[in-house]
Amino acid sequence: MNFHCIELASKPRAVCILSGGLDSTCYAALLAKDYDVYMITFAYGQRAVREIERARYFAKVLKARVHKVVDIGFMKSLYGGSNALTDSKQRISRGFTQNLVVPVRNAVFIAIATAWAMSIGAKTVAYGAHTGDAARYPDCRPAFVKAMNVALNLAESAGALRGQRKAVSIISPAMINLDKSALLKVGHDILGDRTFRTWSCYSDGVVSGRERIHCGRCESCINRKNAFISARIKDRTRYATENGRRKGGKAQRNIHKH
């Protein structure tokens, strides 16, 4: 008598754009429960290079099938002085200002991630934009996601008709009305204290002793603090400043330089 092995149905594939920050990591943790996750991180000339290291860490924690760190550092020269996240000469503000917007950054990321998804047969591309982002950043809004979804699938419509490509859906927390604190709660339930190893600081942090910690003053650090407060989770992140004052009263390093 011949016995045949029955192969268990595998999970669907999803390409997750992972920055190493709080939002993308928490969203990837949620998706990893139901998908085989393929993670992609972009080195685009950002000041916060530490987030790439954290992305590598969480790709391992979440057992990504593949994690690609894609070097598109040439974008820094194209961006020039358009924004403070790639131009270290500019001041990073405590609140939202237009110079925190990197021109069509998410469009670039999503287009590349979708090209990979279509190449590996993944039907889902995910990024961590939540409702708070959508209020300020146009490339985080559901309308933008829907338009990108139409455009990118249209670009490969002939391949889809021939069965050579699969249509892709782009998803984000904002699409299901999740804000930053709600996303944090979901991620913390899965990751526990590892959540505090995510990196949010736009300035790449401040040197304190033998380690680099969050500056605590930039818009992203402040949003991180507020998310933990709203989620009622004790924030164990180390910040160089608390309530706008530098710990110990001694400056460690100017947060506006990298």
Distance CA 22, CA 199 (A): 7
The Cα angle at residue 109 between residues 106 and 112, in degrees rounded to 5: 145
Is-contact 27 128, C-beta < 8 A?
Answer: yes
Residue 209 has pLDDT above 90, yes or no: no
**Taking the mean position of all CA atoms in its chain, how far away is CA 24?**
4
Cα–Cα distances in angstroms (integers) from residue 191 to residues 62, 73, 150, 188, in the given order: 9, 30, 34, 5
pLDDT of residue 26: 98
Residue 82: count of CB within 10 angstroms of its CB: 15
Task: Please state the rounded mean pLDDT for residues 191-210.
Answer: 95
pLDDT of residue 251: 36
pLDDT of residue 166: 87
Per-residue pLDDT reduced to its tens digit, 5-62: 444 558 999 999 999 999 999 999 999 999 999 999 999 999 999 999 999 999 999 9
CA atoms within 13 A on the CB side of 12: 13
Task: Please state the rounded mean pLDDT for residues 225-247.
Answer: 84
Domain 13-191 belongs to what architecture? Answer: 3-Layer(aba) Sandwich (3.40)
pLDDT of residue 226: 97
- Token pair listed for 45: 């000339």
DSSP state of 239: B
Q: Domain residue spans in the chain?
A: 13-191
Distance CA 252, CA 102 (A): 28
Distance CA 76, CA 87 (A): 8
pLDDT of residue 177: 96
Per-residue pLDDT reduced to its tens digit, 176-198: 999 999 999 999 999 999 999 99
pLDDT of residue 255: 37
Per-residue pLDDT reduced to its tens digit, 124-139: 999 999 999 998 999 9
Distance CA 39, CA 127 (A): 10
Q: Grade residue 250 by pLDDT with cuts at 50, 70 and 90.
A: very low
Residue 247 has pLDDT above 70, yes or no: no
